[in-house]
Amino acid sequence: MAQSAWDVVIVGAGPAGLSAALVLGRACRRVLVCDRGTPRNRASKAINAFLTRDGISPGEFRRIAHLELHRYPNVARVAAEVTRAARLSDGGFAVRVANRTVTCRKLLIATGVLDRLPNIAGIDRFFGSSVFQCPYCDGWEVRGAPVAAYGKRQRGFEIARALTAWTDDIALCTNGPSGLSRSDKLGLRRNRIRLCEQPILRLRGSDGKLQAIEFTAGEALPRSALFFDTACTDQSQLAASLGCQFNRSGGIRCGQYEATSVPGVFVAGNIIKDVQLSIVAAAEGARAAFGINRSLTREDFSRKASGVRHIEHPTLQIPSGQKRVVANSPSHPR
Ligand SMILES: Cc1cc2nc3c(=O)[nH]c(=O)nc-3n(C[C@H](O)[C@H](O)[C@H](O)COP(=O)(O)OP(=O)(O)OC[C@H]3O[C@@H](n4cnc5c(N)ncnc54)[C@H](O)[C@@H]3O)c2cc1C
């Protein structure tokens, strides 16, 4: 194998990529972390439900993570987009970043997703303050309060049902016909969830605080928060361009240690489309780092032992007992 400049290139420095960088740094690997600065939670004020960091601001989280990585001179960071990655004949990768091409032995794609905000006038003014996509992240702060669920068909039903853990004052707003079955509608009624199918005119409130949802027919529904479930978009197409297989939910098919179907390529974080909490993304990053380091160690050991070069890659078949449950809904499993 030709000498690669880096053992590992990590694309994406959210909780997933940063956590992987820490584990790989501590495993004495030469790691390059590339990030273009578009984290999913950039509208958010706090990262909740992250043990020891509950409520920390995303900026402070990154500051601490960068400080910790700074202890490891073998980990470098570049603030730039990776525009291309290609597999080389020796099993390594050529990665195009900041107008240069670097090479590495393993590639970790931790590029995350972006939310598609519902098509409602003025919604971006409230996103991250009183309009959210995940009740596990932001439900506690509005527990018991009047909230709206927003989503079409099954997505709307699922987010409304999920919210019953936090409040019993829920209105499911579908901004037009809900497309729900009679039995779903009955289920909502029996759980005292109001179904509002009227078209929405706009959201009303100030300083990011939602006060009411205004419908085109003139009615205004007082609400303190809105939780939506819409499809989210992968932040990068790198996995697809490398030929990684996808599962039925639109997530990347991965097996043991977050290994993809392409030898040498691993994934971590929201791009997998499993549970989409930051602490889970960080755990997936750590697991991928373990898999990557294990492969590198085994490759080097066997080359020295037998002179044979081969590419070690974890199996796509997850051993029984460790089965990964992948979400039905691409935005958040409930
Ligand atoms: C409003 C809001 C509030 C949230 N609140 C919480 C919360 O309270 N608690 C919680 O646990 N989770 C919360 N989340 C979810 C949280 O944001 C995600 O779980 C977490 O960011 C996922 O981490 P990640 O590393 O997979 O992806 P990200 O954090 O999205 O990081 C991906 C990184 O990859 C970079 N990138 C993408 N493509 C490229 C490329 N081609 N080249 C270089 N870099 C690239 C991006 O710039 C980005 O920095 C919230 C999300 C939102 C939207």
Task: Give the helix/strand (H/E) hosting 137.
Answer: helix 135-138
Tell which atom from ligand 1 comes closest to the C-alpha of 271: 26
100-155: per-residue pLDDT in tens?
999 999 999 999 999 999 999 989 999 999 999 999 999 999 999 999 999 999 99
The answer to whether the beta carbons of residues 324 and 245 sit under 8 Å apart is no
CATH code of the domain in which 50 resides: 3.50.50.60
On the CB side of 126, CA atoms within 13 Å amount to: 26
Q: What are phi and psi of 326, to 5 degrees?
A: -100, 145
Q: What is the per-residue pLDDT for 330?
A: 41
- Distance from the alpha carbon of residue 87 to the mean position of ligand 1, in angstroms: 26
The total of other beta-carbon atoms located within 10 Å of residue 240's CB is 12
Q: Is residue 322 in some structural domain?
A: no
Mode of pairing for the β-strands spanning 82-87 and 170-173: unpaired
Tell which atom from ligand 1 comes closest to the C-alpha of 50: 11
Indicate the pLDDT class of residue 4, thresholds 50, 70 and 90.
low
Pocket-forming residues, ligand 1, beta carbon under 6 Å = 11-17, 34-41, 43-44, 46-50, 81-82, 110-112, 115, 128, 132-134, 137-138, 235-236, 269-270, 276-279, 281
Q: Is residue 328 in some structural domain?
A: no
The answer to whether the beta carbons of residues 241 and 321 sit under 8 Å apart is no
Q: Is residue 316 in some structural domain?
A: no
Which of 183, 213, 228 is a domain's end point?
228
User: Are residue 236 and residue 204 in the same domain, yes or no?
Assistant: no
User: Are residue 103 and residue 11 in the same domain, yes or no?
Assistant: yes
Model pTM? Answer: 0.94
DSSP characters for 142-196?
Answer: GTTS-EEEE-SHHHHHHHHHHHTTT-S-EEEE-SS-----HHHHHHHHHTTPEEE
User: Are residue 247 and residue 109 in the same domain, yes or no?
Assistant: yes
Which of 228, 244, 275 is a domain's end point?
228
Q: Is residue 125 in some structural domain?
A: yes
The count of domains in the chain is 2
Handedness of CA 311, 252, 325, 110 (dihedral sign): positive
The two tokens of residue 314 are: 């974890």
Q: Is residue 162 in some structural domain?
A: yes
User: Are residue 211 and residue 133 in the same domain, yes or no?
Assistant: yes
Q: Which of 134, 242, 267 to mutate to test the pocket of ligand 1 (most atoms within 8 A of CB)?
A: 134
User: Are residue 123 and residue 78 in the same domain, yes or no?
Assistant: no
User: Are residue 101 and residue 123 in the same domain, yes or no?
Assistant: no
Which of 212, 228, 244 is a domain's end point?
228
Q: How far apart are the first and last CA of the chain?
A: 45
CB-based burial label for 269 (10 Å; 0-12, 13-18, 19+)? buried
User: Are residue 51 and residue 97 in the same domain, yes or no?
Assistant: yes
pLDDT above 80 (res 325): no
Q: Is residue 69 in some structural domain?
A: yes
The domain in which residue 238 lies consists of 6-114+232-306
User: Are residue 123 and residue 159 in the same domain, yes or no?
Assistant: yes
Indicate the pLDDT class of residue 331, thresholds 50, 70 and 90.
low
Q: Is residue 100 in some structural domain?
A: yes
The two tokens of residue 137 are: 């992240």
User: Are residue 110 and residue 246 in the same domain, yes or no?
Assistant: yes
The answer to whether the beta carbons of residues 210 and 224 sit under 8 Å apart is yes
User: Are residue 41 and residue 135 in the same domain, yes or no?
Assistant: no
| Max Cα–Cα distance, the chain, nearest Å | 78
Task: Tell me which amino acid residue 249 is.
Answer: S
Q: Is residue 319 in some structural domain?
A: no
- Distance from the alpha carbon of residue 44 to the mean position of ligand 1, in angstroms: 10
- Distance from the alpha carbon of residue 85 to the mean position of ligand 1, in angstroms: 21
Residue nearest to atom 50 of ligand 1 (CA): 41
